[in-house]
Amino acid sequence: MSCTEHERTQLLADGELSGEDARAARAHLNGCAACAAQFAEIRALGDAVRAGAMRYRAPARVAARVRKAVAAEGAPRRGFWLGAASGVGASALAAALALAVLLPPSAETLADRIADSHVKAMMQGPLIEVASSDHHTVKPWFAGKIDLSPPVKDFKAQGFALQGGRLDHVDGYPAAVLVYRHGGHVVDLYVWHGARAAGTATRHGYAVQSWVSGDLDYSAVCDAPPSELRQFVKLVRGEED
C-alpha cells in the first residue's frame, strides 16, 4: 500500500484512536480509496469472526454471584495469579476465564461496540432499510427478521423525527435499530437481547447511553452533545417532563 496512513487506519479500525486523532483518520478515509478499502476489510473480518463465535449469557444469579465474589476479594493478588498459572491452578484459572466470558460487557466496552456499529452504518451503510416516519410501517417490518418487537415512536414534535429502521449487529448479536434525525445529527436507537449493561460514555466524539428495560437492552448513540442524547433517552423511556 503506497499511502503512509495505513498504520493509522489499522489503529482506527481497532478502536485505538480517539478525539482529534480519530476525526483526522476518518476524514482521511473519505479521500483515500486504499485506506477506505483497508478499513472496510478489517471491520468485515472482525464482524465475521464475532458473528461466528458462540456466545452464552450467564444467568443473572450467576453474574451477580461472580460480581459479589470479585468485590469481596478486592484487587487480584499477584500470588493468586501466579498460582493459578501453575499446573496446580490451571483448572481454576480456566474456570475463572470461562465465567469472565459469560459475564456481560462493561458499559465502556458496550459504548465502543455501539459507536463502532453506528459509524460503520453511517460510512458504509445501510443506515436505513425501511424508510418511514410511521410506526405502523416500521414496527411490522422487523417481524420475522428478529426475535423481538421494538417499541417504535416518533418524537418529531420534540425535535427527534423518526426516519426509519434497519437490522444490525452488536458484537455478533442481532439488533433492531431505529433511526432518528435531530437537526443535523443522526440518532440511532439499538434494541436487542444480549448486553445486560447500563451506563453512559463518550467514544470518538459520539455520546452513548445504554440501559435495560424488561427483557430488552437499549443503547442510544449520536454525535450531538450528551445533554441532547439524554433528552432523547428520556423521551424513549417516557420520562420527559
At 84-103, the pLDDT tens digits run 444 445 444 444 444 444 45
Q: For residue 207, what is its C-alpha cell?
A: 455520546
pLDDT of residue 81: 41
Name the DSSP class of 204.
Answer: T
Share of the chain above pLDDT 70, in %: 70
Higher pLDDT, 135 or 27: 135
pLDDT of residue 23: 77
Distance CA 125, CA 118 (A): 10
HEC per residue, 180-195: EEECCEEEEEEEECCC
Q: How far, in whole angstroms, is CA 14 from its chain's centroid?
A: 14
Q: For residue 78, what is its C-alpha cell?
A: 499477584
**What pTM was computed for the model?**
0.61
Whole-number mean pLDDT of the chain?
Answer: 79
In which band, very low, low, confident or very high, does the pLDDT at 240 lie, cut at 50, 70 and 90? low
pLDDT of residue 41: 82
Query: Does pLDDT of 195 surpass 50?
Result: yes
Q: Measured between alpha carbons, how far is residue 48 from residues 53, 117, 174, 230 in Å?
A: 9, 14, 13, 33
pLDDT of residue 187: 97
Which are the contacts of 220, defined by CB distance < 8 A and separation ≥ 6?
187, 188, 189, 190, 208, 209, 210, 229, 232, 233, 236
Lowest mean per-residue pLDDT among 29-38, 85-94, 178-187: 85-94
Higher pLDDT, 3 or 78: 3
Share of the chain above pLDDT 90, in %: 40
| Structural domains of the chain, with CATH | 6-52 (no CATH), 60-102 (no CATH), 107-237 (3.30.200.100)
Distance CA 15, CA 94 (A): 28
Which are the contacts of 44, defined by CB distance < 8 A and separation ≥ 6?
none
Which are the contacts of 199, defined by CB distance < 8 A and separation ≥ 6?
106, 107, 108, 110, 111, 209, 210
Asked if omega into 126 is within 30° of 0 (cis), the reply is: yes
